[in-house]
Amino acid sequence: MSDSSDEELIGGDGAEKWVLYRDRDEWNDVTPLSQDDGPNPIVAIAYSEKFKDSYDYFRAILKSGEKSERALGLTEDCIWLNPANYTVWQFRREILKALGKDLKEELKYIDKIIKYNSKNYQVWYHRKVIIEWLQDASEELEFTKAILKKDAKNYHAWQHRQWCIKTFNLYDQELEYVEQLLNEDVRNNSAWNQRYFVISNTTKFESNVINKEVDFALEKISLVKGNESAWNYLRGILMHDSAGLTHNDKVRKKCVELYEAGYRTNHLLACIIDICQNSCINDESPESIFHINNALKLCKELSENHDKIRERYWNYIGHQLLQKLETVS
């Protein structure tokens, strides 16, 4: 955290100015322990006076194993100065257990820390441990929802949300939440991933589920033809269909519709090529967009125009298609 002024408040929102630990009477009995970087550190870090002072005292109580109220307060200051320090968090958890602290109050504390450090692994791991100890995730969906409202693709928030849902069986209203997110931003790949997470953990991909999800994905593709997330979701769902991507009439029909309308998005063309790759050459008429000759043409278009960054990949796929053609010639 910022350490730019002596006027900065302890913990970021306290009522007193920061007082160095060496100047606090209640810490006179502790001998601070300096960090040992060796005699000739290659790159010596220019720690602030606050940081060095706080962590010198933290190392001292860590060494002595002191688990007290003042030690707990010291961990708060150290976390405020560096919320990514695993050792401080771990020792804080040991102190919480030793003192039998109110874990609901600890959640309020971590609410504040995550507010300022929402992409820090250690703060989310600490929250997970506290929820495990409490065996109560009743507030977690709303909490992560608030975080995701500010950053809809926060990986740590999504990871924590999925863990809570799976551990405490909180699937009931998750699809509705995901649909809300996709209505707000149909390109939200995290929301698409969450939809797959829910479907894969609540169904066995029965035919009616697959049909419903294919319809859902195709509807969203109609809104934004080049939406990679929706195309990837479609592929993921059809992996669980014995007919696969190749023989799904709805997908084939949508591909024809978009292709004949003049759309040439990477994902549409890739889908057409995939259908051709996995179908028998003789199954398609020469006029079909799924004929191998058209797929060869699309590989060339992708490598030269639409997806040049993956030129070598599309050339490789084109070579595979040629080999397939030669095999039956």
Name the residues annotated as catalytic.
Answer: 119
Q: Are 1 and 115 in contact (CB under 8 A)?
A: no
Pick from 239, 295, 296: nearest CA to 271? 295
CA angle 98, 103, 104 (to 5 degrees): 160
CB-based burial, 195-207: b 16+ in 10 Å, e otherwise: bbbbbeeeeeeee
Long-range pairs, 116-121, Cβ under 8 A, ≥24: 116/1, 116/12, 116/83, 117/83, 117/84, 118/147, 118/150, 118/151, 118/154, 118/156, 118/157, 119/151, 119/154, 119/155, 119/156, 120/83, 120/84, 120/156, 121/84, 121/156
DSSP sequence for 77-128 = HHHHH-TT-HHHHHHHHHHHHHHT--HHHHHHHHHHHHHH-TT-HHHHHHHH
Which amino acid is present at 320? Q
CB-based burial, 293-313: b 16+ in 10 Å, e otherwise: ebbbebbeebbeebbeeeeee
What is the biggest distance separating any 2 CA atoms in the chain, rounded to whole angstroms? 91
What the block records as the tokens of 71 is 């030690």
What the block records as the tokens of 84 is 């990514």
